[in-house]
């Protein structure tokens, strides 16, 4: 499986390191011998080597600040879009920035990948949230597939549980904690910290961005809710269709009132065939989601045959997200 990786930051480099470190296991267990033939960034250059890039040299060049310093034979003059279109490759991995306004430029990378006969695997949520139907249609026309497990709860198999594990059940709703940063902040507030101190703590630990708006205002969770609605119910929601409220307005008094009633605040994303929302909700402690702590994510599927099924696990991070991409590649291999 020859891979082109678009976006070589936390996730892209994590995937490269994972493929290097697990090479023997993947070959032995799955007969899977992936080869990275192309890598693109926005500002650190691109590389293309049809016979494969050396992962140690690739990571060393990236760590030095520029892929142009890669020690080995490779073309260095392609822009990301040309790389996707012209590379001889089997799979394009989209791991550049998520853009929920236009999904660009990643959406063009995705179109080019499918039109030139490559499978598409995404960590980037933008094209999945905004254009999944188009991508599925393009994939079908070109006899290829689109996978995006890593976009919701990283490598914790939220989508595969619904699509494969619960096959045969009707899912009537999904409710989840889909943003680890806000879950961490709410937990710290439950422990007595003020919102600003809990946010600063999350930033110090690397959970929250310097600009935390997408997390604390609920938009990151909303993007994932859109992906879930489309995947579970084939409902094409947009961000404007969702009721979205973040955690900024929650006060220590709110936290105390919930605790006194035996409840806990959680930022809950909910989708059903009739729509969706992202809202802070007071949950009773008996609800499995109420007991999900730290930066962990969780999702409860309401099903007809199994009642509620809850999955808990990491929802972000370099290795868990790379693991989600790897699971999609293995699933492509097996199909
Ligand atoms: N990190 C996580 O835990 C996680 C979890 C699930 C999903 N995701 C998604 O995975 C994607 C990657 O996340 P990340 O944490 O790895 O981000 P990151 O560390 O900021 O890396 C992003 C990479 O994309 C590159 N890039 C940006 N625009 C590009 C363009 N137009 N063409 C080619 N490359 C471009 C950047 O290039 P430069 O190096 O030149 O800036 C950088 O290499 C995002 O869409 C994110 O939402 C991340």
Q: Tell me: the pLDDT tens digits for 148-197? A: 999 999 999 999 999 999 999 999 999 999 999 999 999 999 999 999 99
How far, in Å, is the centroid of ligand 1 from the Cα of 166?
31
Question: Residues 71-122: pLDDT tens digits?
Answer: 999 999 899 999 999 999 999 999 999 999 999 999 999 999 999 999 999 9
Burial of 304 (0-12, 13-18, 19+ CB in 10 A): exposed
Candidate from 44-58, 142-156, 196-210 with smallest mean pLDDT = 196-210
Q: pLDDT-derived band of residue 208, with 50, 70 and 90 as boundaries?
A: confident
Q: Are 78 and 45 in contact (CB under 8 A)?
A: no
Length of the chain equals 335
What is the distance in A from the centroid of ligand 1 to the CA of 11?
7
DSSP assignment of 227-285, as one string?
Answer: HHHHHHH-----GGGSEE--STT--HHHHHHHHHTTEEEEEEEEEETTEEEEEEEEEET
- pTM strictly above 0.75: yes
DSSP 75: B
For the cut 90, the answer to whether the pLDDT of residue 131 exceeds it is yes
Residues touching ligand 1 (Cβ under 6 Å) are 6-12, 40-44, 80, 95-98, 105, 123-125, 150-151, 154, 316-317, 321
Confidence of residue 324 (pLDDT cuts 50, 70, 90): very high
* Å from CA of 143 to ligand 1 middle: 27
Atom of ligand 1 nearest to the CA of 44: 40
Q: Which phi and psi (to 5°) does residue 299 adopt?
A: -145, 140
pLDDT band at 209 (very low <50, low <70, confident <90, very high): confident
266 counts as catalytic: no
CA distances from 217 to 125, 158, 194, 278 (A): 17, 23, 17, 9
Could you tell me the pLDDT band of residue 128, with boundaries at 50, 70 and 90? Answer: very high
Give the nearest ligand 1 atom to 154 CA. 6
């Amino acid at each position: 499986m020859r891979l082109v990786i678009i976006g070589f930051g936390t996730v892209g480099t994590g995937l490269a390191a994972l493929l290097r470190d697990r090479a023997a296991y993947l070959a032995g267990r799955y007969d899977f011998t992936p080869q990275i033939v192309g890598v693109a960034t926005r500002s650190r250059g691109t590389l293309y080597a049809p016979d494969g890039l050396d992962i140690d040299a690739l990571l060393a060049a990236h760590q030095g600040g520029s892929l142009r310093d890669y020690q080995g034979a490779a073309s260095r003059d392609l822009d990301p879009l040309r790389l996707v279109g012209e590379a001889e490759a089997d799979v394009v991995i989209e791991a550049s920035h998520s853009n929920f306004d236009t999904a660009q430029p990643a959406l063009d990378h995705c179109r080019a990948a499918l039109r030139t006969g490559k499978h598409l695997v995404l960590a980037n949520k933008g094209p999945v949230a905004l254009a999944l139907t188009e991508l599925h249609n393009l994939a079908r026309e070109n006899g290829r597939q689109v996978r995006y497990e890593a976009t919701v709860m990283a490598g914790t198999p939220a989508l595969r549980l619904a699509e494969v594990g619960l096959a045969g059940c009707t899912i009537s709703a999904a409710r989840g904690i889909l943003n680890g940063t806000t879950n961490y902040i709410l937990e710290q507030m439950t422990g007595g910290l003020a919102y600003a101190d809990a946010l600063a703590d999350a930033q110090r630990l690397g959970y929250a961005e310097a600009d935390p708006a997408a997390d604390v205002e609920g938009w990151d969770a909303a993007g994932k809710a859109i992906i879930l609605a489309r995947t579970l119910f084939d409902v094409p929601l947009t961000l404007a269709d969702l009721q979205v409220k973040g955690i900024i307005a929650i006060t220590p008094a709110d936290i105390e009132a919930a605790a006194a009633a035996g409840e806990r605040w959680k930022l809950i994303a909910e989708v059903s065939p009739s729509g969706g929302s992202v809202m802070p909700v007071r949950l009773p402690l008996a609800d499995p989601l109420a007991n999900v702590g730290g930066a962990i994510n969780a999702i409860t599927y309401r099903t007809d045959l199994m009642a509620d099924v809850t999955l808990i696990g990491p929802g972000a991070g370099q290795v868990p997200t790379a693991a989600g991409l790897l699971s999609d590649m293995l699933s492509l291999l097996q199909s």
